[in-house]
Amino acid sequence: MNCGYVALIGRPNVGKSTLMNHLLKQKISITSRKPQTTRHRILGINTTDAGQAIYMDTPGMHADQKKALNRQLNRTADTTLLGVNVIVWLIDGLSWHEYDDVIFEKLKLAGLPVILAVNKVDRIEDKDKVFEFFSAAQARFPFEAILPISALKRIHLDELESVIMKLLPKSNLIYPADQITDRPEKFLVGEIIREKLMRRLGAELPYELTVEIERYEEHEHLSKIYAIIWIERLSQKSIIIGESGAMLKSVGTDARKDIERLIGQKVYLQLWVKVKKGWSDNERALQSLGYKD
């Protein structure tokens, strides 16, 4: 069979997590409209009659390295290129951005087959411009293929999967056929809670919070989950809790429903909001909160 690892790379907010979820036909990576929603390397396994593609969703590659968290996200994205068989570079729109030059250099150094996937193609009305861009892109880098796709609407995803599978090496299955991800439920639960916070809060606050699962108790008919929402400043606490606890209650309700769908069981979810000053710019704090290469 054709089996191997596929890195999904690109700038923040181009749709990498949405693409992986639709390729797997199951939600593994959290999504929101805010950049840098993905903070960890998420592995999603898709086993078919043709073989096994192991997709690696990565944080968006970006130039901002002001904080330790930003540097960690870039390191995670970079190290994902080590040991993979195929790279899918996802972009949206028909133009290059400043940081794309850095990505080109990383791809040259990697020396791996690269597929350029132009996402959100359904929004582009002038199809002649699409072909002009493809021609210019192929002249700039020896892509194995350039495909117009829509991750959200599943346009040309079958073609993308077919190209990926042909580029993977012959191998026995790397993971069991029924395995979907390498991440434990505890990790996925924390990500679900963070997704609900990302979607409900304003522009800046989501980047200064993280979620830690303090306790995860599995009982016969009920799972009890106790989670801490870490923030950087005391003034942020009232925003997350909301008036009379309304915001925190809404986040908890939304998260609990998704967690119950994930684990197939009733869930008791308890959320606390606590302050850890400067956690996003502290390497030791990042390590303790699970941010590792």
pLDDT score recorded for residue 36:
77
How far is Cα 205 from Cα 35, in angstroms, rounded to an integer? Answer: 13
DSSP 203-240: SSGGGGEEEEEEEEEE-SSEEEEEEEEEES-GGGHHHH
What is the pTM (predicted TM-score) of this model? 0.90
How far is Cα 166 from Cα 3, in angstroms, rounded to an integer? Answer: 10
pLDDT by 10-residue block (mean), the chain, 293 residues: 94 90 92 84 93 92 77 84 93 86 90 95 85 93 96 93 97 95 94 94 81 95 96 93 95 97 95 95 89 72
Burial class of residue 100 (count of CB atoms within 10 Å of its CB; 0-12, 13-18, 19+): middle
How far is Cα 119 from Cα 101, in angstroms, rounded to an integer? Answer: 19
Give the CATH number for residue 136: 3.40.50.300
pLDDT score recorded for residue 293:
59
Domain range enclosing 249: 185-288
- Residue 64 counted as domain residue: yes
Please report the sign of the dihedral spanned by the C-alpha atoms of residue 272, residue 276, residue 277, residue 282.
Answer: negative
Pick from 133, 167, 201: which residue ends a domain?
A: 167
* CA dihedral angle for residue 152, residue 17, residue 112, residue 164, rounded to 10 degrees: -40
| Same domain as 43, residue 137 | yes
Q: How many separate domains does the chain show?
A: 2
Pick from 132, 167, 202: which residue ends a domain?
A: 167
pLDDT score recorded for residue 64:
67
Specify the DSSP element, H or E, that contains 275: strand 266-275
| Same domain as 163, residue 24 | yes
- Residue 113 counted as domain residue: yes
pLDDT score recorded for residue 82:
85
